[in-house]
Amino acid sequence: MTLATLAQVLQPAIKGGYAVPGLVCLGWEDMRAYVAAAEDEQAPIILQAGPGCRAHTPLPILGRMLRYLAEEASVPVVVHLDHGFTLDECRAGLDAGFSSVMVDGSKLPLQQNIDLTAAVAEMAHAAGASCEGEIGVVGYAGGAPSTGTDPDEAGRFARDTGIDAMAISIGNLHLQQTARNGLDHERLRAIEAMTTVPLVIHGGSGVPLAERARLAATSRIAKFNIGTELRMAFGKALREAVARDAARFDRIAILGETEPAVRTAARAVIRNLGAAGQGRVGTA
């Protein structure tokens, strides 16, 4: 059994100078491709079920699917609830078998965010799971704006909540289809000066590859969430599979042809973050 918690994979990443990818899941094909990629690269991974995934498939089903993959894998796999917005939502994730939950109180006033996140962290730890929180708002490409993380608030947030990982806003955005100009390194270093908790970048697809690799090796960023670029690989493979034979209608055959492309894309993410070879059981 190789089901892992967030703390179990991120603490070694901090010490080893690499980052673990948080891979955004939407269905069985991408979940399976991600685990295959992790086994190819002998790397730890984090399988993430965000709000979109949970809207498509009931949470208890997702918990069983993801835990099955984790328990059958030969590398450490974290089963992670991404962007839970309430205590009850995070409790439901833990009840469904998730080994890690991310509570997003980033839009709340600071003390309310601290109170909510601390309650979720206490609940997660009591269940033998991990907790990620968010301070500062990470916006969306073409949508809701960001609010950069205040370093002093980040230090207080990490100290008062007991979280295992902290998502920060330093120029990163969700749902970017192309890499932008990079992150605010001055703000990052100021945050690092205030806390030793592992840091998380949401919207990792928008960070240039060279910068991702450099930060994974030289900063306290131990987790990059990667979704958009993998969904783009899936979409391209799906369009090609359908176009090859317009008369085909068997969904298993068509969807199955997306897995090699997603697996290849996920392997590239793992290697870029320096996580290849870090997931041999007993090393994470």
Per-residue model confidence (pLDDT) at position 136: 86
101, β-bridge pairs: 81, 131
Q: What is the pLDDT of residues 79-122, one digit of tens each?
A: 999 999 999 999 999 999 999 999 999 899 999 999 999 999 99
Q: What is the pLDDT of residues 17-73, one digit of tens each?
A: 999 999 999 999 999 999 999 999 999 999 999 999 999 999 999 999 999 999 999
Residue 82: active-site member: yes
Number of neighbours of residue 179 by Cβ within 10 angstroms? 16
Residue ranges of domains in the chain, CATH in brackets: 3-272 (3.20.20.70)
* Separation of alpha carbons 232 and 150, rounded Å: 33
Q: Which two tokens stand for residue 65?
A: 């699917």
Please report which confidence band the pLDDT of residue 282 belongs to, taking 50, 70 and 90 as the band edges. Answer: very low
Average pLDDT, the chain: 92
Three-state secondary structure string covering 58-127: CHHHHHHHHHHHHHHCCCCEEEEEEEECCHHHHHHHHHCCCCEEEECCCCCCHHHHHHHHHHHHHHHHHC
* Separation of alpha carbons 190 and 24, rounded Å: 28
Q: Which two tokens stand for residue 90?
A: 């995070």
Per-residue model confidence (pLDDT) at position 283: 43
- Choosing from 82, 104, 150, 164, the catalytic residue is 82
CA 162 to chain centre: 19
Work out the average pLDDT over 215-224.
96
Q: Which of 146-150, 171-175, 221-225 has the highest mean pLDDT?
A: 221-225
